[in-house]
Structure formats: structure tokens, C-alpha cells
Amino acid sequence: MSKQEVESQVAQDGTANAPEMQSLMQKMVEQGVYTITPKIDTMKISYPLLTSVFPEKSESEIKYFLDKLVANKMLIPKLLDKIIVCPTCKSSSVYSKYNCPRCSSFDIGKASIIEHVRCGYTGSKERFVREDSLVCPKCKGVVSEVDYRTIGTSFECNSCRSRFEAPRMSHKCYSCEDVFTYREARYEPVLEYSLTEETKRTLAKGSVPLASVAKILRDSGFDVSLRADLIGKSGAVHTFDICARRGTQLIVANFTFEPKEEDIIGLFAKKYDIDPTITLLIALTPASKEQEAVSKAYGVKILSSGSFDSIGEEIVQLAQK
């Protein structure tokens, strides 16, 4: 099989075949970001990673795309929050207000309710206030600290003067100025998406990282084979994602999403049998301290970086040492 044939077969491999998913993965690899995070601004919930990949897609097309990827088990949604959205224009730029349950006025306030002990009149403390003393609105008597007791706090309407325990809540849209209650409001989930294990495997084994690293190696004079089989001292056949030869140097590399210990040890077994100059495990996410230690012990170098261009260059630099 020629290099081109191998590469095209890689491209057709699994779910990465979907061209849109391929573009998304390309972007993820370029940026080293593998979570699709929502951004809530004054107008809407958006996904900047997706709008950068598909600038022509509308908000609802992006939502449809994400739903499809979730249905196909490529992404896992995680509920971060729920927000109130205008039922008329779908803006998330909404504020809440308290209203009088009787006349619907928004001009209501919290009131401390007191009772004038002598005449039994109860009302909001505000209505007793006359300059710097308290005067009972009913009997007109001056009320001192000991003449009243506090009943509690409640809300009071400045329009119809009614008192109530709890106000009615309404929402107003900053964009279209529609006013609506919780009954009419849309209550939308804010979701973050991460890759399923299956997608991580597909991504690590897909053509995106392979092609971007292979190009840089070829530009530096390496003869590169993708998904190459090499025969070891034992006679066993070992497959590497990348095999790069230049002169007497042989660099072998496998891709993985996270540099797990089992990947490091698996690669060590191949390295032992093949004896390459450099053995690399290229990870899409950074290695932990433990993983670094394991890789040192086994003589397998872990490369992980935000961008795959820099990984290609790192390999070239390693080969020069």
C-alpha cells in the first residue's frame, strides 16, 4: 500500500469520516482544546469553538449539529446551568422583576410591619414616619420605641397599597422588551460537550494528527510511513502510527489521547523488539507527573503540546540531538 493509500484509508476510518466532524477535530488538534464550552453573552448561548470552525452556520444549525454528535455518541453533554430565555425573540438578555399580585404594578417595596399597641393599628413602618418621629396614621398618637411591636416583614404595593407575603415574579427581555411570566418563559439548558472515549480513540488514531505531523517530518527530509508495520528481532510484526527514517535514524511514534501507563508500556514492548533511535508517544493532552515518570523509566518519550505543528518541530529537534 502506498503512503497516499494508507492516508486515505485513515481518513475513511470510523466516525472521523464525517467531513464536519473532521473539521471540528482539526480545530481541536490545532488549539489543543477538546471540550466544547458554552459562552453566555448578553444575547445568547454560543459555542465559540464551533462558530470559528463553521462561521456560516446559524445558532440553530450549530445546536442541531451538536445534538447529532450526541445522538451518534461522539460527544457527551454536561448540564452546566439553566437560563431564562425570552419566549418571543429567544434572547437570554432577560431581567427579573417583582410585581404586586393584585394590580401587577412593579412599584412595590419591602416593608417592616409594625403594630401600634394602644390602638391596634398595623401598617408598614414607613407610614408611621413623620420627620424624625413615628406617628400613628390612625389615632395620630406619637409612637415611641416601646409603643409598637414588629409583626414581621412583607411586601407592600405603592400603587394599590395592598400587602402581601411574596411578590409575583415577571421577566422582561432587554432585546424586544417583551414581559413574560415563568409560565411563558423558555428555560434553556446550558451544555458543555466533551469527547466520548470512542471519539478520543478515533481522534488519536485519525488522520488529522498523523497528517499534520507527517508533513513537517517530510519537510525536514524524513521518509515517513503512516501505520507502518515493522518486523522485530523476535520476528513479531509491530504497527506504528508514524515511522520516520532519515539516514541511520529511525523514529517511531504512536498516538494516544491521554498518555496512559498501558500505552507507554505497550510502546516499550515494541521498542524493545525493534530498537529504534527514538520512541515517541504523542498525546493530545498533557502528561501527568506519574505518566512522565513511567515514560522515563521505559525510555519512551511523551510529546504533548497545544499544537501539532510544534510537535512536528519538536520531533525534528529531537532527531538533531
Q: Which residues bind Zn ion (CB under 5 A)?
A: 86, 88-89, 91, 100, 102-103, 105, 116, 119, 121, 136, 138-139, 157, 159-160, 173, 175-176, 178
Q: What is the DSSP string of 30-65?
A: HHT--EE--EE-SS-EE-HHHHHH-TTS-HHHHHHH
Nearest to 150 by CA among 126, 116, 110: 116
Q: Which residue has the cell 471540528?
A: 24
Nearer to Zn ion by C-beta: 67 or 184? 184
Rounded to the nearest 10°, the torsion over CA 311, 312, 313, 314 is 50
Nearer to Zn ion by C-beta: 175 or 212? 175
- Minimum distance, C-beta of residue 157 to Zn ion, in the bound complex (Å): 3
Length of the chain in residues, anyone? 321
Contacts of 114 (CB under 8 A, 6+ apart): 122, 123, 124, 125, 128, 148, 149, 150, 151
Nearer to Zn ion by C-beta: 148 or 222? 148
Nearer to Zn ion by C-beta: 178 or 258? 178
- Minimum distance, C-beta of residue 138 to Zn ion, in the bound complex (Å): 5
Nearer to Zn ion by C-beta: 46 or 175? 175
CA distance 310 to 319: 14
Interior angle at CA 186, CA 181 and CA 163, nearest 5: 20
**What number of other Cβ atoms are within 10 A of residue 197's Cβ?**
10
- Residue 203 is given by DSSP the state H
3-state class of 69 per DSSP?
helix
Nearer to Zn ion by C-beta: 88 or 249? 88
